[in-house]
Amino acid sequence: MFFAENFVSMPAEEQWGYIIAHTPETIRHGLCEIVRRNGRTCVINFYEALLNLPEAALFLERDTVERRLRGSLQNWLERLFPEQETDMAGLRALQERVGSVHAQLEISPGLVSYAFYFIKMSLNLFIIDYFESQDDRLRAVIYCQSMVDFAMTYMNSAYNTDFKKKVEQDQSFKMFSLGQDLNFEKETQKTTFFDWSTQALFCLCEQRLVDLQTIAESQFGLWMAHKGQNLFKGTEDFALLQTMIAGIDRRIVAIRASDGVPSGFAAELRNNIRDVTFLTNRLFQAMEALQSGLDPLTKTLTRRFLDVVIQNEIAFSLSHDKEFSIILLDIDFFKKINDSAGHLAGDEALRHVAEIIMGSVRSNDFVFRYGGEEFLIVLTESSSAAAAGYAERIRSRIEASAIPCSTGATLALTISGGISTFRGGIKISALIEQADRALYAAKEAGRNRIEIYSRDRIDMRSRDG
């Protein structure tokens, strides 16, 4: 075509500007005129393609498309194909704003790319009719493809950045690095750091420098590098603590290498130990405000953290091409337990079910108390078939178990469950709604069973019901 020899090595924005600047004026004028005359048709094809996808139809309403979105997309299309482009920074910023909106609406880049295919194909057909010579048609098609593809590049980049920020901004997600009670974890880490500091001071006093351990090598350091990293990441105190630990460890490594202890180092280390202890306590105190995220009865997570967990799994799924699944479980006839055996027995039943659920999933999965007698499980990197296996295991264990009550009696109960799987192009509320509809189908089919969401099968059953 008309590419310069160094085109490939140019930054993307320069490449985009180069294509615009080196496309003949007649071609740019032609595309501008095509969009002016036929942009509405291109926009209609775009949204019809999206609305025909089940996963897109869940978050795109036809009325919203008609009233607001079509006009916005047509304005975008006209902005993308002016006769003369002089504001490349503004053009790029527009694409980034669109990508940010997609992130907020949780419209995946895959869905958008699919729909944009129909815009490009529509424009290509209009190009054939508009330009007379084969050479002009070829140039116009290349120009059209390039403009849309570069726009999508910046949209997708902004989408990925904003979607990641959306997850990271909710600091409550830090609680999930803990596998147990926060106060217990705090006391455990205070003990491990005390053990390290005692051993370090004894090694210095006894000149056993070969046994002098860095903080990074200790249990306290390993915890901070992994669970602590996720729990405290992004806070000023944690950054300060990391810097302080790194400085202490550098001194210890140097001392071990030199086989001698500098004068005053023991006193310096005592001061450092005091500062590390102070910062560690302050970090845990800041996190204790988030402790309310655990349900006090079942010790599962509350719904407060649900959106951020699923957002994180969606981001991981999109970037790693992985599926994940949701299981929504409901105790069958739970009201009868409360009515016949009392609310205390009902609480004991809830605790028992929660223990079975948490004992049946992996440490990397998330268990929430979703409602009164409902539990929601986020199964990371799990297909529908794998989720069905976990759900069936939970169902059978609950069915086979006798629940001891404080009154001396035992309870027997069953659960029903619905499963939905994220495969891209769906937002949080729709994913949960699918699991809920599958759960409803399980209840309608007789309870004590698991259903996997399938659009055709579940929708038909719901209509028949």
pLDDT tens digits for range 36-62: 999 889 888 888 887 777 666 555 666
* CA angle 421–427–432, rounded 5-degree value: 55
* Phi, psi for 24 (deg, rounded to 5): -55, 145
DSSP designation for 44: H
What is the spatial order of strands in the sheet that 450-452 belongs to? 366-369, 374-379, 324-331, 415-422, 450-452
Number of residues in the chain: 465
Arithmetic mean of pLDDT, 417-423: 93
Is it the case that residue 456 has pLDDT exceeding 50?
yes
Lowest mean pLDDT: which of 214-223, 296-305, 355-364? 296-305
Strand pairing class (366-369; 374-379): antiparallel
Residue written as token pair 């970037």: 319
What pLDDT score was predicted for residue 156?
83
What pLDDT score was predicted for residue 2?
55
- Please give the helix or strand (H or E) that residue 325 lies within, else none: strand 324-331
Q: Which is more confidently placed, 275 or 319?
A: 275
What pLDDT score was predicted for residue 60?
62
Give the relative orientation of helices 70-80 and 25-51 as an angle to the nearest 10 degrees.
160
- What whole-number distance in Å separates Cα of residue 53 and Cα of residue 455? 12
At 105, the pLDDT band (50, 70, 90 cuts) reads low
- What whole-number distance in Å separates Cα of residue 51 and Cα of residue 58? 9
- What whole-number distance in Å separates Cα of residue 383 and Cα of residue 408? 41
Contacts 24+ apart (CB under 8 A), 290-293: 290/171, 290/172, 290/174, 290/175, 290/182, 291/175, 291/182, 291/183, 293/172, 293/175
pTM score over 0.85: no
Q: Which is more confidently placed, 439 or 286?
A: 439
Tell me how far apart the 2 most distant CA atoms of the chain are, in Å.
92
What pLDDT score was predicted for residue 266?
86
Q: Which is more confidently placed, 462 or 52?
A: 52
- What whole-number distance in Å separates Cα of residue 119 and Cα of residue 47? 10
What pLDDT score was predicted for residue 445?
93
Nearest to residue 439, comparing CAs of 379, 381, 395, 386? 395
The residues, any chain, with a CB within 8 Å of residue 403's CB and separated by 6 or more, are 348, 349, 352, 410, 411, 412, 413
Note the pLDDT tens digit of each residue in 154-195.
888 877 776 666 555 454 455 454 445 677 788 889 999 999
- What whole-number distance in Å separates Cα of residue 123 and Cα of residue 140? 10
Lowest mean pLDDT: which of 97-106, 260-269, 443-452? 97-106
Arithmetic mean of pLDDT, 146-160: 85
At 421, the pLDDT band (50, 70, 90 cuts) reads very high
What pLDDT score was predicted for residue 425?
67
Nearest to residue 119, comparing CAs of 13, 182, 41? 41
Arithmetic mean of pLDDT, 205-232: 86
- What whole-number distance in Å separates Cα of residue 389 and Cα of residue 395? 10
Lowest mean pLDDT: which of 69-78, 175-184, 200-209, 417-426? 175-184
What pLDDT score was predicted for residue 171?
46
What pLDDT score was predicted for residue 63?
63
Arithmetic mean of pLDDT, 251-278: 89
Q: What is the mean pLDDT of the chain?
A: 83
Note the pLDDT tens digit of each residue in 351-403.
999 999 999 998 888 899 998 899 999 999 999 999 999 999 999 999 999 88
- What whole-number distance in Å separates Cα of residue 56 and Cα of residue 199? 60
What's the one-letter identity of residue 364?
N
What pLDDT score was predicted for residue 159?
76
Q: Which is more confidently placed, 347 or 175?
A: 347
Is it the case that residue 462 has pLDDT exceeding 70?
no
For the record, the structure tokens of 134 come out as: 């084969």
- What whole-number distance in Å separates Cα of residue 435 and Cα of residue 325? 9
User: Which of 144-148, 285-289, 302-306, 334-338 shows the highest mean pLDDT?
Assistant: 144-148
